[in-house]
Structure formats: structure tokens, C-alpha cells
Structure 1
Amino acid sequence: MKPHTALITGAASGIGLALAQRMAQAGHPLYLTDRSEEIFKVADALSAHGTQVWAGTADLAIEADLKRVARDALDKLQGCAILVNCAGMTLKVNGGPIPLEDLDIDAWERLHRVNLVAPMVMCREIVPQMAKAGYGRVVNVASRAGRMHVPPAGLEYHASKAGLIGASRALAGIYAKHGVTVNCVAPGRVDTPMCAATNADLLAQAKAAIPAGRFASADEIAASIEFLVSPGASYITGSCLDVTGGVYMN
């Protein structure tokens, strides 16, 4: 695969980190962003592969931060051919979903700003430049909770991920004629820090329901994303790739 410039959010851990590692090894110039200062250590480590890697911190609930890192990425990369929105958050109480009657609207709004609004702001800042160049690949990391009921996930998380899938399809329809594909990956349960925040009994129940009998690794999800941004996926747009070990079969 020919190296392309790429911007990855949520790249300090989990799926974002696994994807950054894969893409750095393949020689793609990268701009990585995360809320954590760890992102600078990640960038330094990945630079050892010989590719150019830049980093910037951002609170993805703040529009000004999103605009700043997007514009910095466009400047550093001299354009952006690949955008992958991996960053996300969930709300838990005692490792499980927050009951409806206890749901705080401020928390709901922050989660939606991170899980749904932030990817769309990043698309707003990056995709028109892709369209002008006649080439672009966008992948938004959704969740099986955007496709089906997932008991350990809260109402707010389901809503944000379903919205992300719908918004991605709308963007795909608008920008396909400009050479830009927009797709989602919907992971099932993945062995990441976000997964670790879930109640142990709920995790055991979740694993028992997976036909594959295990959780995914972050690298397996990253490999799926890597395919969607590759030339082999050039005729795939507006799709949601379910990577769930068989829990969700469409």
C-alpha cells in the first residue's frame, strides 16, 4: 500500500494506538492526537520506524481543540488523505450502565460531544480538503452498540454510536463522487482500557455470548480499519464493518 498521510484520534491507547503502530510500520506519515500527554511518547516511539510522526493533545469535547489539531495536522502533513476517528468514551456506575433515572444531561452531552460531534467536526475540517484533492479515506470507530442492544452499555452510548453510523452514511453519500470513502467499524467487545472499566460479571456474560469465545484484540480491530483505508477497499463506502466475533451477524 502506497504511504498516505493520516490523522488518528484517540491514538494513545487501545484501538487508536494499535492502528498508529500498524500505519507507522507501513510508512504512513502520521499526526496523532489524544487527550493524554502520553501521545507525545507514542509519537516518539513510532518515529523509530523511520516515518514522520507528529502529535498534539486535545479535549475532543471542545470544538476549539478539534479545530486546532485538525489545522495543525493539515499543516504538518501538508494535507491529509486518511482520517480515522478512534477516540471515544463511555459512562459507567459500578462498572455497569447508568440507570435512566440517574442519567445526568451534562454527562450525556459530553459523551455525545466526544463520540459523535467530535468525529463530525474532524470531518468538517478535513474532508473538504480531501474532496478538493480527489482522494480520501475516512473511518469512524462505532460499536456493536450502534447496531444492537448491548446490556453493559448505557442508553447514551447506544445513541451516540448509532448516530455516528448514520452520520457516516450521509457523508459517504455526499462525498463518494469526489473520491472520498466514509465507513465505520463496529467492534464488539475489545480488550482495551475501556473494556476494563466494565463490571467483571457483565464481562463474563458478554464473553459467554460471543460465538468466537473471546474478546477481540485492539490489533484485530486496527487490521480491519487498515483494510478500509487501503486501495483494496476503494469501492466500499457507506458501510459498517462488524467485527464482533459473531455476536452480531447482519
Structure 2
Amino acid sequence: MAYTYLISGATSDVGRALIERLLKTAPEGTLVLAQGCGDVEKLAPLCQAYPGMIRPFDVDLSDPYKVDTFCQVLASTCPAPTHFIHLPALPVVNTKFKAFDEPRFAKDMEIQVHSAVKLCKAVLPAMTKARFGRILFIQTSYTLGAPPKNTAAYVMAKQALGGLCKSLAVEYARFGITVNCVAPSMMETNFLKDTPDLIVQASAADNPMGRNATPADVVPAMAFLLSDEAGFITGVTLPVTGGSAIA
């Protein structure tokens, strides 16, 4: 069956890997509505590999008015999404709480949480009517047990997404809609560009598998939670951590 996937943060390393995974064996008629912000050119190789199956959108999710416009454009010009995957976030900045950057935190909350609420409100009515849907958020292993020091802003935003996931899961389960999270440990992607190398290396050394995660480790778990086979799994946060954090 052909599905329509709405992926916010689709230009990220994880987003691009997920698109390739979803489209590799997708039937004709499958469509990915792919949101990025100032970097949609990163989708060009995938658009060439899968012509007509990816529709890029350049939208700044930190601006609530632009998110509202994006929702209106989706409703008026695109098929109703059957799947919604929400990936965007500002890169982690390790900062002591006494130097907490409130404007940056507010921006990250717009990108991660407020836009997720608006986009869920946009896609859920059609999913409810169809009595089918998949929603997936990306959390972090930092929400499992004690988080690392100096990550308050990042952890708070991710915990808010976790609360949204659980609340929606309970409310929409009777409509055949599942809402889940994956929680990777540190992933070596462009997302770590502001993280000191010493922290990245220490995380790899501390992991029971002796390395950090990669998109290739995380995307299969995401694809499973988005699949038809995962229809009785909802409200969960699936750790993908190599054993560094166990729920």
C-alpha cells in the first residue's frame, strides 16, 4: 500500500537515512513530504534517486506563523499524511545551568515541541477518519535515568515530547493510530557539531559496545515502529543505545 509520510527535520542525517529506507521498497504512489530549513538542497540526491516521490518544503519551524502557513499548504496541496515523523532540534549545547540561554531554549521549544503540537493537530483528523496512522518522535537516552550534567535545556524539550507521545497514544489508540518515540544514545551525526570531541569520545568509550550510535543503528527501529506490523505498540519510548541506557 502506498503511504504519505510527513517528515519534519527530513534534511538531517537521520531524516535522509529514513527516507532512503522507506522508499527503497515503497510501492508506486508513495510520497514523502520533507521539511527542512534553509538546507533542502541536501535532499537533491534522494529526489534524483526517487523521482516524484519526495516533495521538499523549506520551513522555519521556530516561527509559529510559518508553521501555521505550512499546515495550511499541506492541507490544501498535499494528500493527507498517513505517517508523521518529527525529528528537528537545535544541536545540543553543554552549558552549566547558571549560563542557561533562555532565548535559545525558547527557540528550541518552538522547533521541537510547539511545532510538533501544530503538526499533530494538522494530521490527526484525517488519520482519525481513516482509522489508521503512525506518529513517531525522536527523544534521547538522556531521558532514561539520570541525564548527563549540563544538558537541562535539551532534556526538558525532549521530556515534553515524551509527555506529548504518551498523551496522544492513550487518546488516539482506539482509532488505530500509534504514537511512539525512539531514544538513541549519542549519535555521530552533524547534530554533534557543537559538542566537544572529548565528550563524544568519552561517550563512545563508556558505551558497552565501545562506540556511539549511527543513523544505520537507529533507522531500522524507526522503520519498525512506523510499519503495519507495529500496530499494537503505542506510547512507548524504544531505547537504541547499545546498552548504555536501559529502560
Residue in 2 aligned with 1:30?
32
Retained in 2: the 8 A contact 1:21–1:46? no
Q: 1:245 aligns with which of 219, 238, 242?
A: 242
CA displacement at 1:116 relative to structure 2: 1.8
What SS class does the counterpart of residue 134 from structure 2 fall into?
Answer: strand
Retained in 2: the 8 A contact 1:59–1:65? yes
Residues 36-47 of structure 1 mapped to structure 2, 5 A cutoff? 36=38, 38-42=39-43, 45-47=46-48
Residue in 1 aligned with 2:81?
80
Residues 137-161 of structure 1 deviation map (CA, whole Å, 9 limit, x = unaligned): 0001111122233326610111111
Residue in 1 aligned with 2:8?
9
Q: Please provide the CA RMSD for this pair.
A: 1.8
The sequence identity of aligned pairs, in percent, is 24
Instruction: Answer with 179-188 or 191-200: which moved more.
Output: 191-200
CA displacement at 1:40 relative to structure 2: 4.4
- In the alignment, the residues of structure 2 paired with residue 196 and residue 150 of structure 1 have an alpha-carbon distance, to the nearest angstrom, of 20
Instruction: Answer with 142-151 or 38-47: which moved more.
Output: 38-47
Instruction: Answer with 41-50 or 128-137: which moved more.
Output: 41-50
Residues 217-236 of structure 1 deviation map (CA, whole Å, 9 limit, x = unaligned): 11321211111110110100
Residues 103-153 of structure 1 deviation map (CA, whole Å, 9 limit, x = unaligned): 122112111111222212211111122112211100011111222333266
What SS class does the counterpart of residue 84 from structure 1 fall into?
Answer: strand
1:236 pairs with 2:237: no
Residue in 1 aligned with 2:17?
18
CA displacement at 1:50 relative to structure 2: 4.4
Shift of the 154–232 alpha-carbon distance from structure 1 to 2, 3 Å rule, reads: same
Retained in 2: the 8 A contact 1:184–1:239? yes
Instruction: Answer with 214-223 or 179-188: which moved more.
Output: 214-223
Residue in 2 aligned with 1:144?
141
Q: Name the TM-score, length of structure 2 as normaliser.
A: 0.92
Residues 169-191 of structure 1 deviation map (CA, whole Å, 9 limit, x = unaligned): 00000001111110011111111
What SS class does the counterpart of residue 61 from structure 1 fall into?
Answer: coil
Which ranges in structure 2 are unaligned for 5 or more consecutive residues?
none
- In the alignment, the residues of structure 1 paired with residue 241 and residue 114 of structure 2 have an alpha-carbon distance, to the nearest angstrom, of 25
- In the alignment, the residues of structure 2 paired with residue 207 and residue 142 of structure 1 have an alpha-carbon distance, to the nearest angstrom, of 19
Q: Name the TM-score, length of structure 1 as normaliser.
A: 0.91
User: Structure 1 counterpart of 2:8, which letter?
Assistant: T
- In the alignment, the residues of structure 2 paired with residue 13 and residue 41 of structure 1 have an alpha-carbon distance, to the nearest angstrom, of 9
Q: 1:108 aligns with which of 93, 105, 108?
A: 105
- In the alignment, the residues of structure 1 paired with residue 2 and residue 210 of structure 2 have an alpha-carbon distance, to the nearest angstrom, of 35
What SS class does the counterpart of residue 241 from structure 1 fall into?
Answer: strand
Q: 1:204 aligns with which of 201, 206, 231?
A: 201
Residue in 1 aligned with 2:172?
175
Retained in 2: the 8 A contact 1:43–1:54? no
Which ranges in structure 1 are unaligned for 5 or more consecutive residues?
none
CA displacement at 1:69 relative to structure 2: 2.5
CA displacement at 1:76 relative to structure 2: 4.1
Residue in 2 aligned with 1:70?
71
- In the alignment, the residues of structure 1 paired with residue 202 and residue 55 of structure 2 have an alpha-carbon distance, to the nearest angstrom, of 40
Shift of the 226–153 alpha-carbon distance from structure 1 to 2, 3 Å rule, reads: farther
What SS class does the counterpart of residue 183 from structure 2 fall into?
Answer: strand
CA displacement at 1:26 relative to structure 2: 2.8
